[in-house]
Structure 1
Amino acid sequence: MENKYQFETERLGFRQWKEEDKIPFANMNANTKVMKYFPNILSREQSDEFVDKITNHFIEHGYGLWAVEIKITREFIGFIGFYNATFESYFTPCVEIGWRLDNKYWNKGYATEGAKACLKYGFNIIGLNAIYSFTSQLNEPSINVMKKIGLIDRKNICHILELDLFM
């Protein structure tokens, strides 16, 4: 069988988005548990627009928020990857690492496993010099992933991993 993954871990495959990912992704984005730390859940239209933005980001930058699936079952579980943050802040513009997984895949180590693989890919293949992550201070699950992957807390807002610290 042809390997369709851009890169992979023992359990996860990272690939480009497919049209059939839009329905489970929209379901995730409409799930109040998944979207707990976001201002709102997303409508189907908003979710599809987000997939279009992700696709365009890949075209423009050559990297982005990869669709992630469990290799053994080929189940789409969400995204993990990079996005160029350009909103106005003391730490932008920057490359952000982020993840959003369907809640039925939480507490299985997928976010940590996938984020570690993305960091390795980002520094060693893409050639990034620094990778940031940020979330609400209330989002303890994401903060825990940030800690597990070695991001350094800066001002309780932004977590950063720089190339010299990663090597």
Structure 2
Amino acid sequence: MIYIETPRLKLRDWKDSDLEPFQYLNADEKVMRFFPKALSKKESDVFCQAIIAEIKECGFGLYAVEMKETKEFIGFIGFHRATFESDFTPCIEIGWRLKKEAWGKGYATEGAKACLEYGFEELGFDEIFSLTADINEPSKQVMRKIGLEFVKKFDHPRVDPKSMLRKHVLYYVQRNVWQKE
């Protein structure tokens, strides 16, 4: 099923043919530089199954992203229920991960803007959050471009306290603010 279409992208259900490029994406040290580690093939497959299960359970999730022109899988953009212990969870998080060959072309911004519209208009979300490691400037830039506002910095409880990735930033937008834009 295709959930969202933009001028250049399709955000859709996952296919078996996505597994291998997804493994490659998650094993890429540059793509995973703002995560605790790159993923093995097995870890990537487990992650993909969790994504698919969340879509089936919730009716939303991290959608596979395909280039319309080439039908090439380039990563994911979509929603996730963040449930780790914090003063802002549980919440709906918007996120993205694209292969490095797709960086710098505006795909994350294009897909995430369309996701916000889908989340507010079709899924009825009241607010959408996004979070990342504080040092992840590219994702913070996308968050700002799609209209999310900075809320705070926090220590992510699932990241090693000694890691430079522990310090995270939280951004969000409410439906009534988004509708004014």
Verify same fold: TM over 0.5: yes
Letter of the aligned partner of 2:147 in structure 1? G
- Structure 2: gaps of 5 or more residues: 154-168
* Residues 20-61 of structure 1, C-alpha deviations (whole Å, 9 max, x = no match): 101000001000000000000000000000010001001110
Distance 2:60 2:8 in 1: 21
Distance 2:84 2:71 in 1: 35
Letter of the aligned partner of 1:158 in structure 2? L
The answer as to 2:86 corresponding to 1:74 is: no
Q: How does 1:41-52 map to 2 (within 5 A)?
A: 41-52=38-49
Partner of 2:166: none
Partner of 1:162: 174
How big is the shift at 1:7? 1.8
- Structure 1: gaps of 5 or more residues: none
Distance 1:162 1:40 in 2: 32
State the secondary structure of the residue aligned to 1:82: strand
Structural RMSD (CA): 0.7
Q: How does 1:140-151 map to 2 (within 5 A)?
A: 140-151=137-148
The more displaced of 126-135 and 156-165 is: 156-165
Distance 1:22 1:101 in 2: 14
Letter of the aligned partner of 2:40 in structure 1? S
The answer as to 2:138 corresponding to 1:138 is: no
Distance 1:125 1:69 in 2: 21
The more displaced of 45-54 and 4-13 is: 4-13
Distance 2:148 2:122 in 1: 19
Distance 1:47 1:154 in 2: 31
Partner of 2:54: 57
Could you state the TM-score of these two structures normalised by the residue count of structure 2?
0.89
Partner of 1:83: 80
